[in-house]
Amino acid sequence: MTTAPPLVPAWQESIFSVLKAGGVRQVAYVPDAGHAHVIRRVQADPDMRDIVLTTEEEGVALAAGAWLGGQRAVLLMQSSGVGNCINMLSLMQSCQFPFLTLVTMRGEYAEFNPWQCPMGEATPKALELMGLKVLRASEADEVEDLVGAALDAAFEGGQRVAVLLSQRLIGRKKWVAK
């Protein structure tokens, strides 16, 4: 007996579609369940390259290098990784590189892990302090438009943009003892 693949919310497929249509060729990430569908789709696409990182700030440098090499790259991360990137984001600001990151939020809606709360609360302000325009998707029907607008702002307008994907959008996480 085979099991059917899990149903994927349309907004997650929309993210992949927007990145693909927008000419993104490299997608860097530290593995995260909130980005799992997009990661799987990138891995299956022969025109896109997934790059697994050991820490999120590597993705900032990778995005700069991709741009210098004539390609578009996106960094996928969780809000807990934003703090790791602060120093490297100064590179994007100083050199005026375009930059797009999609951030799955923690420390918000129904958070079970109190360690996630401080960085979850600080994420929007930290990104803004480093010169990024911050957009937030809280409803499924706004994800495609926001990611598309962010992609255009970054790669057509030369801006540095973060799209925060709210924890409520992604769904509750539960601690499961094994």
DSSP secondary structure letters along the chain: -PPPPPP--HHHHHHHHHHHHTTEEEEEE---GGGHHHHHHHHH-TT-EEEE-SSTHHHHHHHHHHHHTT-EEEEEEEHHHHHHHHHHHHHHHHHT--EEEEEE--SSTT---GGGHHHHHHHHHHHHHTT-EEEEE-SGGGHHHHHHHHHHHHHTT--EEEEEE-HHHH--------
Mean pLDDT across the chain, nearest whole number? 92
5 in a domain, yes or no? no
Instruction: Answer yes or no: is pLDDT of 113 > 80.
Output: no
177 in a domain, yes or no? no
pLDDT at 92: 95
23 in a domain, yes or no? yes
Instruction: Name the domain count of the chain.
Output: 1
17-61 pLDDT, tens digit each: 999 999 999 999 999 989 999 999 999 999 999 999 999 999 999
56-105 pLDDT, tens digit each: 999 999 999 999 999 999 999 999 999 999 999 999 999 999 999 999 98
pLDDT band at 177 (very low <50, low <70, confident <90, very high): low
Query: Domain holding 88: CATH number?
Result: 3.40.50.970
82 in a domain, yes or no? yes
pLDDT at 76: 98
Instruction: Answer yes or no: is pLDDT of 175 > 70.
Output: no
The residue segments making up the domain with residue 74 are 10-170
